[in-house]
């Protein structure tokens, strides 16, 4: 990841309410110049509200919004220098691709020569050279989305914001467009703020992820930080798959869970003896083997269980494993050939490293 400096957008105690309903609770956030920041969360979490506050679509109920140090809290949208790419493309159907892209330049008073130069460059950047005379109905969904992106980048806005821009595309095209947007971001170096509810999309594209829920920020960090070090049950469950185990700290400082196993956690600091905690263990961090085979043996197993479900999904296989007390663990590993695959009813050993356990913050 490239080094990112300076602040592009800063929100200071910004909130938005509609009557007595808060769409965004008091929020402070700094977006670094040139970074790709993704706002991630379920519907109603405040993602689009935050985007609209930055773009000027909504007036803030409280707080201040700064762009490169300048207060734009009450500035009209056109004076903010922010570009927007929409999910529904918002192209004008009677205009060609060239004219759609040229539109923001014309309303800003650019000369015809400058417009032609800038539009031609924008078309080349999104791979649409030769498509300038086609109207939206003559373009595929992916091509229309590229026109929408080109229309946004053509006037070199200080920030480019994208509100679920790939939501209407099929899986293969969506993945292709993810790669193209990442390359475009790297080439032009502009700050991107991207909204999605798709966790894989966020993990794949972002420098940092701002995870939101109930009108506020739950956790802000790199994709690695949110995936491997979630700070709450919500973060652990929303991003990736997780096993959640509850237990209390014993006299040795280990976490004794309901199964009767004592689990060593990587950092005992801050854990209080007798107090209950919840820990997360990712399914792919659990090693599994039959007795005497591989690295898991009766002597080295952290736990033992019975396979109660097998889901083959191509390159990966997910096992549902029931521990003796009825606790269910999800285990994910590289798929084996059918004849070697674990079977329902089979007894297996499980092992994981203490470093793979994450103590979650209470959400009370």
Contacts with 199 (C-beta within 8 Å, 6 or more apart), sequence order: 40, 238, 239, 240
Q: What is the pLDDT of residue 292?
A: 57
Average pLDDT over residues 197-213: 94
Lowest mean pLDDT among 127-141, 255-269, 295-309, 345-359: 255-269
Position 42 pLDDT exceeds 80: yes
DSSP 353: -
pLDDT digits over 235-253, tens only?
999 999 999 988 888 877 7
Q: Give the model's confidence band at 340: pLDDT under 50 very low, under 70 low, under 90 confident, else very high.
A: confident
Contacts with 21 (C-beta within 8 Å, 6 or more apart), sequence order: none
Q: What is the pLDDT of residue 225?
A: 95
What residue ranges define each of the domains in the chain, with the CATH number in brackets?
Answer: 5-237 (3.40.50.300), 243-288+297-360 (2.40.50.140)
Q: Write the burial class of residue 76 (CB in 10 Å: 0-12 exposed, 13-18 middle, 19+ buried).
A: exposed
pTM: 0.85
């Amino acid at each position: 990841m490239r080094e990112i400096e300076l602040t592009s957008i800063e929100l200071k105690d910004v909130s938005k309410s509609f009557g007595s309903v808060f769409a965004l609770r008091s929020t402070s956030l700094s977006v670094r110049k040139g970074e790709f920041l993704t706002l991630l969360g379920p519907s109603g979490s405040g993602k689009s509200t935050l985007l609209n506050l930055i773009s000027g679509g909504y007036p803030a109920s409280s707080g201040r919004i700064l762009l490169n140090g300048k207060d734009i809290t009450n500035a009209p949208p056109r004076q903010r220098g922010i570009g927007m790419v929409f999910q529904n493309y918002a192209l004008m159907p009677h205009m060609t691709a060239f004219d759609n892209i040229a539109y923001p330049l014309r309303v800003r008073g650019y000369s015809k020569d400058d417009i032609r130069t800038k539009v031609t460059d924008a078309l080349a950047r999104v791979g649409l050279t030769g498509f300038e005379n086609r109207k939206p109905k003559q373009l595929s969904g992916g091509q229309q989305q590229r026109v929408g992106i080109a229309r946004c980048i053509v006037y070199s806005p200080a920030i480019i914001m994208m509100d679920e821009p790939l939501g209407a595309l099929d899986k293969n095209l969506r993945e292709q467009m993810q790669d193209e947007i990442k390359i475009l971001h790297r080439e032009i170096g502009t700050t991107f703020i991207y909204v999605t509810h798709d966790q894989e999309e966020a993990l794949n594209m972002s420098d940092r992820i701002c995870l939101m829920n109930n009108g506020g920020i739950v956790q802000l960090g790199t994709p690695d930080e949110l995936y491997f070090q979630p700070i709450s049950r919500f973060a652990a469950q929303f991003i990736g798959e997780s096993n959640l185990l509850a237990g209390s700290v014993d006299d040795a400082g280990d976490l004794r869970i309901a199964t009767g196993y004592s689990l060593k956690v990587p950092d005992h600091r801050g854990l209080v003896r007798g107090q209950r905690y919840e820990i997360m263990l990712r399914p792919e961090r659990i090693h599994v083997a039959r007795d005497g085979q591989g690295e898991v043996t009766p002597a080295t197993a952290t736990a033992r269980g019975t396979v109660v479900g097998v889901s083959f999904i191509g390159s990966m296989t997910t096992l549902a494993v029931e521990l003796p007390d009825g606790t269910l663990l999800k285990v994910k590993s590289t798929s084996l050939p059918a004849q070697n695959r674990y079977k329902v009813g089979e007894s297996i050993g499980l092992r994981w490293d203490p470093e793979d356990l994450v103590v979650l913050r209470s959400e009370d």
